[in-house]
Amino acid sequence: MLPEPLIRLVEELQRLPGIGPKGAQRLAFHILKTPREDADRLADAVRNVKERVTYCSVCNNITDADPCAYCSSATRDPKVICVVEEPQNVGAIEKTREFKGTYHVLMGALSPLQGIGPDDLKIKGLLSRVNAGVAEIILATNPNVEGEATAIYLARLLKPLGVKVTRIAMGVPVGSDLEYADEVTMHKALEGRREV
């Protein structure tokens, strides 16, 4: 029989996404074995995130200063907004070092099966930003059913406002073989082809 504090730690760790009962138990025993200072640093880091990290009042990205570094930067083009589903998607786009505009994080995607509709996403703030004089909206939602539905919904909502609406290209990933690409991926690759 495990001590009550350890059982409670396992239960709390198990509530984290992607952590099952065995993984939670492994993590709990690891924390138990580590020096007290390491456990304190972990607890402090969790507490610090909850106390200091918030969401940008402009774009909904995670930040420790409001507005965030992207929205307050003088080198970013506020007339170009890249719309993503979650804050972690911003990092994926930033890795390219190509995008010089700003972001808008929806905090999810449309998913009628999960009860997520347009009112559950951060769309109103995006519409306010568009009305303030935006030239282009780049829809960078995930290439799955929910992401596609969200992109189509936003395109229909934004186009009548006179803003240019584009969608990121999708298709065969660099470094892969065509023989392993599924039908939808090949369809998107052919649809998004460009002249060379």
pLDDT in tens, 157-172: 999 999 999 999 888 7
Residue 61 in any domain: the answer is no
Rounded mean pLDDT, 11-23? 96
Give the per-residue pLDDT at 13.
97
Of 161, 126, 162, 130, residue with least CA distance to 141: 126
Of 80, 72, 132, residue with least CA distance to 102: 80
Determine phi and psi for 49, rounding to 5 degrees.
Answer: -60, -45
Residue 170 in any domain: the answer is yes
Residue 113 in any domain: the answer is yes
Does residue 195 have a pLDDT over 80? no
The confidence band for 25, taking pLDDT boundaries of 50, 70 and 90, is: very high
Does residue 190 have a pLDDT over 90? no
Residues 34 and 85 in one domain: no
Does residue 196 have a pLDDT over 90? no
Residues 101 and 181 in one domain: yes
Residues 95 and 168 in one domain: yes
Give the per-residue pLDDT at 179.
81
State the pTM of this model: 0.82
Residues 96 and 48 in one domain: no
Pairing between strand 62-63 and 54-55? Answer: antiparallel
Rounded mean pLDDT, 106-115? 94
β strands within 51-190, DSSP E = 54-55, 62-63, 77-84, 101-105, 136-139, 164-167
Tell me the per-residue pLDDT of 34-46, one tens digit each, with 9 for 90 and over. 999 999 999 999 9
Domain that holds residue 149: 75-190
Residue 125 in any domain: the answer is yes
Rounded mean pLDDT, 153-158? 96
Does residue 9 have a pLDDT over 80? yes
SS3 138: strand
Domain count, the chain: 2
Rounded mean pLDDT, 92-100? 92
- Which residues, in sequence order, are CB contacts of 133 under 8 Å at separation 6+? 79
Of 32, 27, 30, residue with least CA distance to 12: 27
Residue 64 in any domain: the answer is no
When the pLDDT of each residue in the chain is averaged and rounded to a whole number, the result is: 93
Of 55, 83, 74, 64, residue with least CA distance to 166: 83
